[in-house]
Structure 1
Amino acid sequence: MSFNSLGLSQALLKAVSKKGYTTPSPIQQKAIPPILEGKDVLASAQTGTGKTAGFTLPLLHFLSENPNKKYRPIRALILTPTRELAAQVYDNVKEYSEFLNLRSAVIFGGVNQKPQVARIRQGIDVLVATPGRLLDLENQGLLSLKRIEIFVLDEADRMLDMGFLRDIERVIKMMPTRRQNLMFSATFSKDIKKLAHGILHNPVQVEATPENTTVEAISQKVYRVAKGLKTGLIIKLISDGNWKQVLVFTRTKHGANKLCKKMVGSNISAAAIHGNKSQGARTKALAGFKNGSIRVLVATDIAARGLDIPLLPHVINFELPNIPEDYVHRIGRTGRAGAKGEALSLVSADETTYLRDIEKLIAMKLPVEIIEGFEPDPNASTAPVKKQQRGGGNRSRSHSSSGNSKVGGQRSNTSSRRPKKNNYRRR
């Protein structure tokens, strides 16, 4: 199948061709046709499989084929959980709409709102946003969602994990009930399916790969190691392998800073990226990592979604996530677009339970290696480490009630439905 067979406009096909894409990915093949038909879609695809284009291309096609000739209200809203993901999606929107008469903008917290507001006042068709800044600007009367025709909830499971349920409810109340709704994510939990039931109307469910599977192109390995020897081991692996671009995940912000400092002390250029970093610092660190001036980017799970780094060869879990689904998202930063990648995990005794949960989720036993001089401590307890709060994101300080929310609706004349009270309250 080619992009030409999907029914997209010539302007979009030209933009896709310019990016060097010739064949749509499985999620694009399955999602684009029903979206073009105006149907609500619930889509699941592992990260790195092109799901952003799966909703961006048909969204832009509809807007360009049905222009608003009088003025430019915001007609499409793409809601994402993190700043990095918002910026990435916005870049894709700009690239794909290069040959269309459409305008777009991105808004997120951590930066001055004035340039964002100025862009919106010029008139835009597509808005990419994180919940906190979106609600803030709407509360100030600086934007309106009353003319939204297409609503996209990207990385919906991450939204719930970060506590954005009430914010999502508030955003939905601000939009017209008649609209098309698209929900995309790498995984779908029971809570996500409850949320989908309240927002989507008779959705077409598409799935490019089994839920929670990991990309086949990624080579995965576990290094069993004593907890106190992890820093020495990771420095040895990076130095001996002469690795030039490594994304490392830690469980906490403090841990990211501490490891970054150790790396720099060992003459390995490194930078940390997490929720306590300013947006400017995060942008600078990511830019340095992409251009090669920084070899190692140490991140918390805020970076597990939204980091689009072409041909990233190595991902290392310095600490395993305590939520197994996050392992899938972390290692999904490598092995993208068919490229090969390597995902390594340094596992101490107190992470044994986390490793077992991950292997159960991905339905595979990960190969284990022990390096001489960095052996695991045979006397260490296997009791799980204390779970940490998730860090990062742009969560707003929402105080709205969690009662009934008017959700649902699409472009057709189908009436919206009101879910039962607390139909999708987070457990």
Structure 2
Amino acid sequence: MRLLIVSPWFPYPPDNGSRLRAWHLIERLAQKHEVRLIVGRQEDACSGEIPLKIPTIAVPWLWHQPGATGKAGALRALLSATPRSILETPNPAFVEAIARELALKPDVVLAMELGSDAYLPEQLPCPVVLDQVEISGLEQAWRQATTPRERATRWLTYTKGKSYWSRRLRRYHGLTAVSVAEARAVEALVGKPVTIVPNGVATKEYSPLDKPTGVPGRLLYNGALSYGPNRDAVLWFVEAILPKITERIPEAHLVVTGKADAAPEALRQHPQVVLTGFVPQLQPVLADAQVCVVPLRAGGGTRLKILEAWAAGLPVVATTIGAAGLDRSREGEHLLVADTPTRFAQQTAVLLRDSEKRRAVAQSARTLAETHYDWDAIVLKLEECLQQQKS
């Protein structure tokens, strides 16, 4: 199959969720098919290279800068049917690169994430599958707004986005989503079936049988604090949950991996918090921890941090939002779920105190990761979707 892949994210190194998905899917598809690649190049990847021998075009990626066009731009965006984040992010070089590659007449185009949509031609000349469609976050953000002004602004963003994407998504030959809930939301919006292609983990890269008992009391959160939901999760955990854990287990402490440039001073100075910054190899950090905590209160998709913990034999405590999208998991068997500070602290303390409980939950989760969330199995689902659309 002659496959053109369009990715807004530069996929290497795979150091965040979007890059991880892009990298693992591209790498595996390139092993079986004739792949050509167009990728956005972010500033932090300006000197990077993709270690795959496939034709690649890298185009500077232009992020939306809120308020960059001033009051006049805000008024134009308000009156437009196109969301402002799209209206104010033109990228002619990306459009031109896609047009040149489409002239080569690929069998199928795989466009990764909604961020690809604005740069594809209005009339698609060949079958295009849009991967990892996520629209539920707009409604979630609106419903979680805490002030009248914020609620009104987010409601406008939600209603405009819903109308815009209901039109745009209908033009695609195939759509994928990472979870049942997200697939149902997209199906309700566009009235066409959506293929579930979940997020995954390369289980062979982890050796859970060799995992030591971990540093006593060590809790792990893997996520860059430059991302708002990650920052909120860590602050909530440290302020509302960690003190309740240390009442029971004084040696409990939290290690946060990922970029920490945006970390508040309160986290930097906290005696029971360690900010590692970006860690190129996560496996040693996972091996040192006893429990992975995912106290997310916002955000969409499937938590790759949970899948990585499962693959490494590390038990997980998560909020309902943190565990969202893991459709095959069962609470109490593959992970523990809690949504209040008291309950979250209790569940975490149980795992810290009970090594047999930790081991049982971790083993069940590892098995689930191997059978249903390994990238080798997941790419087969995506291949089937692409083959069905092949021209």
Q: Give the structure-2-normalised TM-score.
A: 0.40
Higher relative contact order (CA 8 A, sep 6+): 1
Structure with the higher fraction of residues in helix conformation: 2
